[in-house]
Amino acid sequence: MNQEERARRQSRRVIISEIIMLLAVIATVCVLAFLVSGYWLNSDFKVERQGLLQVSSIPTGADVAIDGESSWLQRTNTSKVLPAGEHTVVLTKDEYDSWSKTIKIKEGLLYGIHYPRLFLKERTKEKVSDVTATTFASVSPNRNRMLIANATTDWKLVNLDNNNPEFKSIDISKVFPSASDNEDNKLFTGEIISADWDGNSEHILFKVKYGDNYEWIILDVRDPKNSVNITRTFAANFDQIKIYDNSASTLLAVRDGNLHKIDLSSRQISAILVEKIHSFDHYESEIVFAADYIPSSNSSSNKDDSSDSTETAPYYLGLVRLGDSDITTLSELTSPAKVTISKFYDDKYITTLTDTNLKLYRKDDFKEVLSADLSFSPAKMKVGRDGNFVIMNDGGRIATLDMEAMATREWQTTNPSFGWLDDNMIYSVADGVLTVYDFDGQNQRQLSNNVSSQFPVTITGDKWLYYFSDGSLIREIITK
C-alpha cells in the first residue's frame, strides 16, 4: 500500500471518529436537556415527565424517607427526581424528633422544602438571667438581639448570638416623653403598643400610648442619644408608620389617611404620595396599596379600555414607585382591601385580601395566579421573610398561602396570641405549654412547660431556644 493510500484511509478514520464524537456530544446534550426538562424512564421503560424535590433541614444530615422508602444515600441538603403527584416526605435523625409532610410534585418543576427543623428529644436547660422586673420584650429580625424593657429608664439589650449572652444597659431617659418628664424618679410610664426593628437590628420603631395620645419613636439601640421622636419632630399625628430601609433612615407614614415618605437624615416629610389609603406594603422601591378612588391626571391604568371605568368603583388597587409621582391603577375594588407585595424565586407577587376573598397576582403582568375564599375574615396579613408564604390571621385562627405549593390552608393555634419562633415557625403558649408549628400549621410539637405567654420565645444560632419562665430568662440547647 503506497503512502497516498495510507493517507486517504487515515483521513477517513479521522473524519469518522470526529463524526462519532460530534454525534455523541449531540446525544449527551439531548439527554441532559431531556433530564433537565423533567423527563425520565420509569421502571417499565416508559418516558414520563417528573419533578425535582430539594430537601434541607436543621440540623443537616437527617435521613429522608419518601413514600416509606429510604436508603443510606438519602440525606437532607440534597435533591431527588420524583414522579408527578403526591408524595409523603419524612425526616428522622438519631436523638431528634421527626418531621413529615405530604407534598404535590408537578411535572417539570422544582419543589423546595428548606425549613424543616428537628428538635433534640433530651434538652439541657439553664437560667440566663433574673428578669423579674420585665414589662416588655422584643426580638430582632435576625434573632441575635433582644430588648428587655421595664418601668424604669434603664432597659437592657441582650446579645444572644454567642454561648455567653451579653447584657448592655440602655438609658432611655432622654428618648421617651414619660421618661424625660420623670427624670428625677427614673420611670417609664408609657404603654408600648408595637415595636418593629430595622433590617440591621440597630433601630426599633415604637408606637407608645400616653393616656389618650400616641407617639412614634425610633430608638437607636447603639446610641440612644441618636433616637428620634417622630411625632414631636414633625408635629403630626401619624396613623401608621413602616420602616422602609434596613437602617431606618427612611420611613413610610400615613397621616390623615395620606401616604408620605419621611427622611430622618434631613428631617423632611414628603408631599402626599397616595391619598386616602387603606393599606400598603412595599418591596424595595415599589409600593402597592389599596385606597379610595380619587380622579387624578397623573394616574395610569393597565386595564383594558373596554372595561368599566375606574370612576364607577369606590376603591382601587394601585402601584407607585418611590421617587416617581405616576400611580398605576391595577384594578378596581368594591371594598377596602389588605395588600402585600413580595418576591418568590424570580417573580414578584401581589396579594390582596378583601373580607374573605384572597387573590394572588404576578406583579409584572398582573395576571391572577390564585383565588381562594376563606371561611373567616382575617384582621392581619404578613409575608414570610423569604417570600415563601403569606400568613393571614384573626387571633389564633390562621390561613396560610403556601407559595411553593400554590395552595391555602386554614388552621388554629392553641392560644389566640402567637409569635414567630424563627422565620418559618409559629409558636403559641397555653397553660404554660409551648407549642410550635410550621408556618402552615403542620408538624405541631410541644416543646417546654412553665413558659410565660406574656413575652417572646425565640431560636438563635439554630442552637438555643430562649423563653421567659417565673421571672427568669431560660435557654435550652435544641441542636448539638
Domains and CATH numbers, the chain: 39-113 (2.60.40)
- State the Rg of the chain over Cα: 28
| Grid coordinates of 121 | 428529644
**What is the model's pLDDT at position 145?**
96
**What is the model's pLDDT at position 393?**
97
Strands 299-301 and 78-83: what pairing?
A: unpaired
Cis peptide before 165 (omega within 30 of 0): no
**What is the model's pLDDT at position 306?**
40
Query: Does pTM surpass 0.75?
Result: yes
Among 149, 254, 245, 146, smallest CA distance to 199 is for 245
- CA dihedral sign of residues 464, 467, 468, 469: negative
Buried b (16+ CB within 10 A) or exposed e, 345-368: eeebbbbbbbeeebbbbebeeeee
**What is the model's pLDDT at position 79?**
87
For residue 418, give every residue at least 6 positions away whose Cβ sits within 8 Å of its Cβ, in sequence order, or none: 393, 396, 398, 426, 427, 428
Q: Determine the Cα–Cα distance for residues 93 and 171; give it in Å rounded to an integer.
A: 46
Among 387, 389, 313, smallest CA distance to 354 is for 313
**What is the model's pLDDT at position 304?**
45
| Grid coordinates of 346 | 424570580
Buried b (16+ CB within 10 A) or exposed e, 56-76: ebbbeebbbbbeeeeeeeebb
Residue with cell 428548606: 114
Residues of the chain with pLDDT under 70: 1-11, 14, 18, 22, 27-49, 72-73, 178-185, 295-312
383 φ, ψ (degrees, to nearest 5): -95, 135
pLDDT digits (tens, 9 = 90+) for 146-186: 999 999 999 999 999 888 899 999 999 999 876 665 556 68
Residue 328: CB atoms within 10 Å: 17
pLDDT digits (tens, 9 = 90+) for 234-265: 999 999 999 999 999 999 999 999 999 999 99
| Grid coordinates of 30 | 439531548
Exposed, middle or buried: residue 240 (CB in 10 Å: 0-12, 13-18, 19+)?
Answer: middle
| Grid coordinates of 467 | 423563653
**What is the model's pLDDT at position 297?**
42
**What is the model's pLDDT at position 1?**
56
**What is the model's pLDDT at position 466?**
98
pLDDT digits (tens, 9 = 90+) for 272-308: 999 999 999 999 999 999 999 986 544 555 544 444 4
Q: Determine the Cα–Cα distance for residues 142 and 11; give it in Å rounded to an integer.
A: 67
**What is the model's pLDDT at position 74?**
81
The 3-state DSSP class for residue 179 equals: helix
For residue 469, give every residue at least 6 positions away whose Cβ sits within 8 Å of its Cβ, in sequence order, or none: 450, 451, 452
The 3-state DSSP class for residue 35 equals: helix
- Single-letter amino acid, residue 476: E
**What is the model's pLDDT at position 41?**
52
Instruction: Check: CB of residue 76 under 8 Å from CB of residue 62.
Output: yes
